[in-house]
Amino acid sequence: MFARFWGRFVGVRISAQGEVAEILRDPCGGLDCIAWEDDGLTIVASAVPAWLPVPRSWCIAFDRVAQALHDPLLVWEDLLLDGPVAIFPGTIQPAPLETLPTALWSPAAIVRRGAAEPVADAEAAASLTMSLDDAVRALALAAGPLAAEVSGGLDSSLVAASLIRVREDVAPWINLYGAEAQSDERPYAIALGAALGIDILSVPHATGPLTEADFEAISRGVRPGLAGIDMHHDRDWSDRLRTAGATAIMTGRGGDSILLQGATADVFTDLWRARGWRSLTSPALTGLARLNERSIWSLIAGARRETEARPARRNELITPIAHRTVPRWLNDCDDLGPAKVLQIAGLIDGIGRQSPSLQTRTLSVLTPLLSQPVVETCLALPATQLVLGQRDRGLARFAFRDRLPSIISERRSKGEMSAIYGRMVADNLDFLRPWLLDGRLAEVGLIDRAAAEVLLSRDNLIWRGTYGEIMTVAAVEGWVRAWSQRLVPL
């Protein structure tokens, strides 16, 4: 099936006796899948709505909550609940559910296959163009009234350049802008609109106070609502697009990772691991040295001593733990270079960002850059080819150079939204401090209260940031509270 079909799907094979025999989930995880057994009945679902009773044996798995707080990628893997079973993307789960699943697809396997079958740059560019065009066409033609996000960045511009070839009735083409210059992408969106012949609606980023009701609204699913942390924005766009008559929106989400935004020294390390001393003849060496403002000797030295994965950044709000779980797809990467490992980590995060949010309750959010054809194309290409030796997303820029205005295809800066989210945290510290310091995570010892007292302050936000870490923990807190209430026996 994975070779013949792609999209958001779950497959269930029924035995001759009418029982669930096997459950299959698509490789790119666009549709969640969980299963459980209750009174002799096997239930397979993508969600557990509030009206559906859950078995009394279910409980919050605080050991996995602790792991997920240290590495949020784990939120999209095993459930933080004991009882139901999550079907992992690209796997088949036999019955009974206690049986170990079989992995049929993995990113690392695609990377290795690509390494064994290298292609020239022109062929790689053609493959990328074809896979994105095909994915956009399939998603667009299956959708009803369709809107599209045009951020002003490269990723959504690539999608837009493919979309105009398929649908003439897209409305609105919508752009988000922030109050600061670095988060105002309207000049780039306007340039894209002129080049593609489309009218773009620019709307300001919606803001407002954070409340317990906001976190409750994003915490009803079986996973914490990390995909819906920007609640006011999601609600605003849902209202606008519903009023406009759209039932789906196409976005460029996932492009940063799968197209390889990071043209860092890690890219040369990947090349060194693949070619050894022969990599010194590659133009990528001087190109990456220039881009990263480093000497070629430091790149070589760094590549030679690169023997293990770098430790993840620690969230100081969280109580340290003795052992940290590695996401499943990253456990199979010992022979891969750090740039490809980072690409796979970004894919895991991208899968999670397709999870339910306030926006997905009213709209189908379509992400062609996270579709199986595009993902497999990009995983199979080496990091040096994806950046063409010296540019972030260099291959994508080259492949679409004739469809995009040069202000976008040759752009070296990137829109920055961190100030928006920093202000959201700073303006809501009066809510977030008691929400975290007196919440369930602190009660069970997963939040370091002393550290949190310091981190949840304006001074810390100014000097150290940590906006993302704070909002991640706040969302997990909301989920734990919501499920603690739901699992109380009636």
Q: List the beta bridge partners of residue 176.
A: 203
The answer to the question of residue 259 being in a domain is no
Question: DSSP label at 356?
Answer: -
Q: Which residue has the higher pLDDT, 308 or 280?
A: 280
Q: Which of 78, 104, 130 is the last residue of a domain?
A: 104
Residue percentage of the chain with pLDDT more than 70: 98
For residues 77 and 103, is the Cβ–Cβ distance under 8 A? no
To which H or E segment does residue 159 belong? helix 154-163
Whether residue 411 is predicted with pLDDT greater than 90 in this model: the reply is no
Total structural domains in the chain? 2
For residues 401 and 122, is the Cβ–Cβ distance under 8 A? no
Whether residue 198 is predicted with pLDDT greater than 70 in this model: the reply is yes
Tokens of 170: 């897209």
pLDDT confidence of residue 452: 92
Burial environment of residue 103 by CB neighbours within 10 A (0 to 12, 13 to 18, 19 or more): middle
Closest alpha carbon to 421 in 351, 478, 357, 470: 470
Instruction: Indicate left, alpha or beta for 466 from its phi (over 0: left) and psi (-120 to 50: alpha).
Output: left
List pLDDT tens digits, range 206-223: 999 999 999 999 999 999
User: Which of 237-246, 408-417, 452-461 shows the lowest mean pLDDT across its residues?
Assistant: 408-417
- Average pLDDT on 103-110 reads 96
Q: For residue 417, name the pLDDT band (cuts at 50, 70, 90).
A: confident
Instruction: Indicate left, alpha or beta for 327 from its phi (over 0: left) and psi (-120 to 50: alpha).
Output: beta
Closest alpha carbon to 121 in 399, 469, 458, 417: 399
User: Which of 33-47, 99-113, 279-293, 398-412 shows the lowest mean pLDDT across its residues?
Assistant: 279-293
The answer to the question of residue 130 being in a domain is no
Distance in angstroms (rounded) separating the CA atoms of residues 126 and 399: 7
pLDDT confidence of residue 490: 59
- Write the single-letter amino acid at 307: T
pLDDT confidence of residue 261: 86
The answer to the question of residue 278 being in a domain is no
Q: Which residue has the higher pLDDT, 407 or 353?
A: 407
The answer to the question of residue 408 being in a domain is no
pLDDT confidence of residue 70: 94
Tell how strand 59-60 and strand 81-82 pair up.
Answer: antiparallel
User: Which of 77-91, 273-287, 395-409 shows the lowest mean pLDDT across its residues?
Assistant: 273-287
User: Which of 21-35, 82-96, 139-153, 351-365 shows the lowest mean pLDDT across its residues?
Assistant: 351-365
pLDDT confidence of residue 355: 86
Q: List the beta bridge partners of residue 94.
A: 22
Tell how strand 85-86 and strand 34-38 pair up.
Answer: antiparallel
Q: What is the CA radius of gyration of the chain?
A: 23
pLDDT confidence of residue 12: 95
The answer to the question of residue 140 being in a domain is no
Q: For residue 333, name the pLDDT band (cuts at 50, 70, 90).
A: very high
The answer to the question of residue 133 being in a domain is no
pLDDT confidence of residue 366: 97
Whether residue 231 is predicted with pLDDT greater than 90 in this model: the reply is yes
pLDDT confidence of residue 312: 59
The answer to the question of residue 317 being in a domain is no
pLDDT confidence of residue 349: 93
pLDDT confidence of residue 311: 52
Tell how strand 146-149 and strand 248-250 pair up.
Answer: parallel
Q: Which SS3 state, helix, strand or coil, does residue 28 take?
A: coil
List pLDDT tens digits, range 38-67: 988 999 999 999 899 999 999 999 999 999
- Average pLDDT on 236-245 reads 96
Find where tokens 């492009």 sit.
Answer: 255
pLDDT confidence of residue 313: 65
- Average pLDDT on 66-79 reads 95
Closest alpha carbon to 251 in 324, 146, 356: 146
The answer to the question of residue 56 being in a domain is yes
Question: DSSP label at 328?
Answer: G
Torsion of CA 24, 367, 337, 395, to 10 degrees: 140
Q: Which of 104, 137, 161 is the last residue of a domain?
A: 104
- Write the single-letter amino acid at 314: R
Q: Which of 104, 139, 168 is the last residue of a domain?
A: 104
Distance in angstroms (rounded) separating the CA atoms of residues 419 and 421: 6
For residues 300 and 282, is the Cβ–Cβ distance under 8 A? no
- Average pLDDT on 431-457 reads 95
Mean pLDDT of the chain: 92
List pLDDT tens digits, range 390-399: 789 999 999 9
Residue percentage of the chain with pLDDT more than 90: 77
Whether residue 309 is predicted with pLDDT greater than 60 in this model: the reply is no
Domain that includes residue 473, residue range: 418-486
Tokens of 83: 């009882």
